[in-house]
Amino acid sequence: MTFSKLLFKNVKQHLNESVAYLLACAIAIMIYFSFNVMTHAPHLVTLIAEPAQLLGVFAFAKVVICLLVLTFMAAANTVLLQQRRQELTLLKVLGSSRFSIASLFFLEQILFGGVALLLGVGLGLLLTRLFTLILLRFMQVTQVAPQFLFSWTALGQTVGIFCCFFLLMGLYDVLLIQRQPLRLRPDTNAADTTRWFTWPFALIGVVLTALGFGMAQKFFQTIQFYNRFFNTNSGLLVILASILGFVVLGLALIYRWSLPLLVRQLRRHQRWAYQGLRPVMLVNLRRDLHENAMALWVITLTIASTLVILGSIAMGREILQRSLDNTSPTAITVADDAFPAVQRTLKQEGIHVEADHVATFKLVPSAFQLQSFLRLHPMIETLPLTVISLSDYRQAQQFQPTLPRLQLTTGEGVILKQEANYFTLPLQTVTQTVHLKDPQVPQVKLVGISGQFAFGTLRYVSSGLVVADQTFAQLRDEGAVRYHALAFTQTQHSLTVSRQLLKQFDNRLIYFKATKNKLKRQAQRTTGAYTLPVLTARYPTQVSDQMGYGLLIYVCLFLSCVFMLVSGGMMLLKQLGNSSQLQQQYRLLTKIGLASVDLKKMIRWQVGFLFELPVLFGSCCAYFALHILSVLLFGTSLKLALFIAGGYVVVYGGFSHITTQLIWQRVTKKESRSDSFN
Amino acid sequence: MAFIEARNLRKLYGRGGNLVTAIGGLSFTIEAGEFVGIMGPSGAGKSTLLNLLATLDQPTSGEVLIDQENLTYLSKAALAKFRRQRLGFIFQDFNLLPGLTVEENIVLPLTLAHTPLAQIQTACQTVSRILGLTDLLTAAPDEISLGQQQRVACARAMITQPQLLFADEPTGSLDSQAATELLQYLTAINQREHTTILLVTHDAFTASFCQRIIFIKDGMLFAELRRQKTRAAFFQQVIDMQATIGGGQKYDLF
Ligand SMILES: Nc1ncnc2c1ncn2[C@@H]1O[C@H](COP(=O)(O)OP(=O)(O)OP(=O)(O)O)[C@@H](O)[C@H]1O
Ligand SMILES: [Mg+2]
């Protein structure tokens, strides 16, 4: 048989198991290529207000894809070669030199690489229009039609990089073959023995993980407890680090010790284990866990991190939305002195102003104490407070419906503070008061803290204070500013006008000089001055937020696609490697009267378990991580993370189905073949 | 009335030009409750015949009837059920599952049939006591000797108390004492429970426990011997027949 014939025969024979590998590579290449093409499309790049952002995100994504693909290829090749160890040994025994075997595998690798590249780039080219359409949808851009994109540089880059990868893999194969010991049979079962540390390790694994999850669930309480106990303020970091450490270590122990021990105990529990195929299934599960513990662990952690990243991006949407509402709640918010100019412009441009709310803000130096969940001792704030009257606050409720209702009597106040969730009122101090440096109103009784700012955060130099109208009237006027909040609907035209206005008042600020007892408005900046912006506009920020956000989501979705494929493909290959053992079981069990349907069911269970277990654990980890994030960032949306977790379940379900089919094919097919060669 | 009936069985192996005739037209009957031996030189087709009768393999042509039911027409599931419920098979190469313990291997046929645990436990105790496996139950098959493995294979085949027991060289790896014990046990269940036993062996001593022996050579029926008088006399007859056939062993004496 000539060399090329042998090569083709080889490729044909292993096509079955390599299909998963090939497809995963091809799709990764496709996504890489589509990202690459997008970064080289001039009209897409210029569309984005900050093209650097787009390029940066895509560059990062491409690096991640490359890393994923490389690890996948290396792992897959190791597994595939292990499976073909017998064939290799046979070739050696038959007298092929190591060199010719190595070059055979090298060429095979290159051949596969070529096919994967062709497939990937071809698909990428076909689907660019669709991908651009999706990207534009996500970015909520309507004025650009999706086009067929092509760029020679992108093509060259993709082909170049992946050619390098496949060459590398070819070399890696050669290296593996050189170091492969001669062996005719793969090693069989690991002994089912326990040692003295099996039980402790298994228990520690479960306890650590549970502890980590519990600490995450009761995050603030744990930090408080820690701070009290050790009398420090470092609780936040320490607790975060220990949760991470506990869960990561705990999961490793669970995969390596607890689950095998559980299987072992189940096996001993005859009432459960002596039924149908369970004895066989338990043995197989134990072996699978033993062989794949670390792979499962890594996959679990990666699933958890993708879910956390995507989930926090979904939270990011809410945070962006909230921060937009908080910074510029209406179309334009403008200080009193610039108001006539803005009004004129709007009139000229024919924009109808639907509402004009006016509010007065007074800046007063102050001192007050707050107790944070995250700190042991109360914080003493001495920054100036921006004070707003209750009636102005109520006015703002018309266009900021989420503002909480307040009831205040004279002499009472509510602090507005951005991280309001972290604070309780000081518990130790008897008098909960805000001390103001004002002759008329030296102090206000503190009755609450709120995280939402009437007229937007940017109207406040630091924290805010809402007081009853009477108290407000008594305060000195020197540090007073009036703001107009103008509302009009968003159209393409009003967006352009907003942009113009923003440019016109770009960087114009109102300065306040702090003296010992008061704050005074000032014409120019001096050192240590407090500032407020003259004008903020909602729509331009909103649009660029949407674009950046859509871009991020788009990239992350595709990245998680690549990850799902890559990890699923790897598990598939690993499990296919076990099919010779299953085949042995199949032959024997059918001889003693097992219906083959039952065995297929067992394989389905076994394979499904190994696929969905990491998803389950990963989702658990992600849930608690997102819980911590939502406590820290006040976002609460787990929707996207749930959606992606569902995606994992479905995709891995598909993978486990395919794996079952492939294993089944091998298990039943090889039997008939060996029939005639025995 | 015949319990097992083989009608002109033929089995060819291989494809295309190089066909091997493993069985070339065999017909015979076996009555219910009989204890029958099958002998013949290596490669004569004994294992193949047993596989055909046990429905583990399809004949190229010809039919097998068991209890007047034609196995050729049964579905795969029905065949599996037949093997599970009515047949015990002691394989020449034992066919133990490597990862399972001895006990798990023995009880496998019962768990497959979803037998209640209490029944499984008593059956397992009984059978392992008879075969002297009580101390080995927790061991793995690759940790015990060949003879012990063979006894495990026997235990697995007999635990369901099948109507039909096929044994392919069940004493091949046993010392003479263990072999005698096993054969006495087989004889006992044959007499007490009227189990029909079909036993393949090379060994005249083992064969002398049977009531009837079918000799095959090159896939064809060569001769048949029926036990009339004592076992010792029967043993001598078998030895003589083996000499006629050629290829058998002549060493094993009392
Ligand atoms: N799966 C198979 N494929 C091809 N040929 C086979 C197969 N099984 C058996 N044969 C052939 O059929 C013939 C009969 O084999 P069989 O195993 O039945 O012999 P046997 O009488 O059991 O021998 P032994 O006493 O050594 O066990 C032999 O020539 C063998 O080579
Ligand atoms: Mg044989």
pLDDT in tens, A300-350: 988 888 888 878 877 777 788 888 888 888 888 999 888 999 999 999 988
CB contact under 8 A, B80 and A590: yes
Residue A676's pLDDT is 34
**Closest C-alpha to ligand 1, atom 7:** A678
pLDDT band at residue A47 using 50, 70 and 90 as cut-offs: low
- Residue A502 CA to residue B18 CA, distance in Å, equals 90
Domains of chain B, start order: 4-245 (3.40.50.300)
Rounded to an integer, the average pLDDT of A278-290 is 89
Residue A194 has pLDDT above 80, yes or no: no
Tokens in use for A180? 């492969």
CB contact under 8 A, A592 and B108: yes
pLDDT band at residue A675 using 50, 70 and 90 as cut-offs: very low
- Residue A304 CA to residue A8 CA, distance in Å, equals 41
Q: Is B47 in the pocket of ligand 1 (CB under 6 A)?
A: yes
CB contact under 8 A, A283 and B97: yes
Determine whether B63 is exposed, middle or buried from the number of CB atoms within 10 Å of its CB (0-12, 13-18, 19+).
Answer: middle
Q: What percent of chain A has pLDDT over 70?
A: 91
Residue A678 has pLDDT above 60, yes or no: no
User: Contact at 8 Å (CB) between A445 and A433?
Assistant: yes
Q: Is B11 in the pocket of ligand 1 (CB under 6 A)?
A: no
For residue A598, give how far its alpha carbon lies from the nearest alpha carbon of chain B (Å): 9
Q: Are strands B2-13 and B20-31 parallel, antiparallel or unpaired?
A: antiparallel
- Residue A561 CA to residue A131 CA, distance in Å, equals 14
Higher pLDDT, A374 or B184: B184
Rounded to an integer, the average pLDDT of A386-394 is 92
- Residue A405 CA to residue A450 CA, distance in Å, equals 10
- Residue B152 CA to residue B158 CA, distance in Å, equals 10
Interface test with A, best of B51, B82, B112 (most A CBs within 10 A): B112
In terms of Cα–Cα distance, which of B125, B19, B5 is closest to B72?
B5
Residue A186's pLDDT is 46
Residue B35 has pLDDT above 90, yes or no: yes
CB contact under 8 A, A592 and B83: yes
Residue B142 has pLDDT above 50, yes or no: yes
Dihedral (CA of A62, A65, A71, A73) sign:
negative
Residue A674's pLDDT is 37
Residue B213 has pLDDT above 90, yes or no: yes
Residue A473 has pLDDT above 50, yes or no: yes
Higher pLDDT, A578 or A616: A616
Dihedral (CA of A642, A644, A650, A655) sign:
negative
- Residue B252 CA to residue B114 CA, distance in Å, equals 43
3-state class of A110 per DSSP?
Answer: helix
pLDDT band at residue A184 using 50, 70 and 90 as cut-offs: very low
Chain A's closest residue to B83, CA to CA, is A593
Contacts of A590 in chain B (CB under 8 A): 56, 80
- Residue A281 CA to residue A274 CA, distance in Å, equals 11
**Closest C-alpha to ligand 1, atom 24:** B42
Rounded to an integer, the average pLDDT of B147-166 is 90
Partner A contacted by B97 (CB < 8 A):
yes
- Residue A566 CA to residue A24 CA, distance in Å, equals 6
Rounded to an integer, the average pLDDT of A386-404 is 90
- Residue B61 CA to residue A378 CA, distance in Å, equals 94
- Residue B94 CA to residue B169 CA, distance in Å, equals 10
Residue A657's pLDDT is 92
Chain A's closest residue to B97, CA to CA, is A585
| Helices within A350-490 (DSSP H only) | 390-399, 469-474
Q: Which of B14, B97, B107 comes nearest A585 by C-beta?
A: B97
Rounded to an integer, the average pLDDT of A536-547 is 86
Residue A1 has pLDDT above 60, yes or no: no
**Closest C-alpha to ligand 1, atom 28:** B43
Cα torsion for B233, B235, B239, B240, to the nearest 10°?
20
Query: Looking up tokens 């407090």, which residue turns up?
Result: A530
CA atoms within 13 A on the CB side of A458: 24
For residue A188, give how far its alpha carbon lies from the nearest alpha carbon of chain B (Å): 8
pLDDT band at residue A668 using 50, 70 and 90 as cut-offs: confident
Rounded to an integer, the average pLDDT of A386-401 is 90
Rounded to an integer, the average pLDDT of A74-85 is 78
Chain B's closest residue to A671, CA to CA, is B57
Please, which residues have CB within 8 angstroms of residue A64's CB and are 6 or more apart in sequence? A559
Residues 136-195 of B with CB under 8 A from A: 140, 142, 156
A197-244 pLDDT per residue, tens: 888 999 999 999 999 999 999 988 898 889 888 888 888 889 999 999
Residue A291 has pLDDT above 50, yes or no: yes
Ligand 1 mean position, distance from CA A244 (Å):
61
| Mean pLDDT of all residues belonging to chain A | 83
Q: Are strands B87-90 and B164-168 parallel, antiparallel or unpaired?
A: parallel
Q: What percent of chain B has pLDDT over 90?
A: 31
pLDDT band at residue A635 using 50, 70 and 90 as cut-offs: low
Longest dimension (CA), chain A: 106
Residue A321's pLDDT is 82
| One-letter amino acid for residue A211 of the chain | L
pLDDT band at residue B98 using 50, 70 and 90 as cut-offs: confident
**Closest C-alpha to ligand 1, atom 30:** B43
Q: Is B217 in the pocket of ligand 1 (CB under 6 A)?
A: no
- Residue A350 CA to residue A330 CA, distance in Å, equals 18
pLDDT band at residue A151 using 50, 70 and 90 as cut-offs: confident
A405-419 pLDDT per residue, tens: 888 888 888 988 887
CB contact under 8 A, A592 and B81: no
Rounded to an integer, the average pLDDT of A126-140 is 85
Residue B252 has pLDDT above 50, yes or no: no
Q: How far is CA A641 from the centre of its chain?
A: 8
Ligand nearest to the CA of A678: 1
CA atoms within 13 A on the CB side of B254: 6
Rounded to an integer, the average pLDDT of A178-204 is 68
Longest dimension (CA), chain B: 55
In terms of Cα–Cα distance, which of A484, A581, A498, A579 is closest to A534?
A484
Residue B254 has pLDDT above 60, yes or no: no
Contacts of A280 in chain B (CB under 8 A): 97, 99-100, 108
Residue A649 has pLDDT above 60, yes or no: yes
Residue B1's pLDDT is 65
Residue A142's pLDDT is 76
Residue B24 has pLDDT above 70, yes or no: yes
Residue A51's pLDDT is 65
Residue A185's pLDDT is 46
Tokens in use for A82? 């292990």
Partner A contacted by B110 (CB < 8 A):
yes
pLDDT band at residue A2 using 50, 70 and 90 as cut-offs: low
Determine whether A600 is exposed, middle or buried from the number of CB atoms within 10 Å of its CB (0-12, 13-18, 19+).
Answer: middle
User: Contact at 8 Å (CB) between B173 and B146?
Assistant: yes
Residue B251 has pLDDT above 60, yes or no: no
3-state class of A536 per DSSP?
Answer: strand
CB contact under 8 A, A278 and B81: no
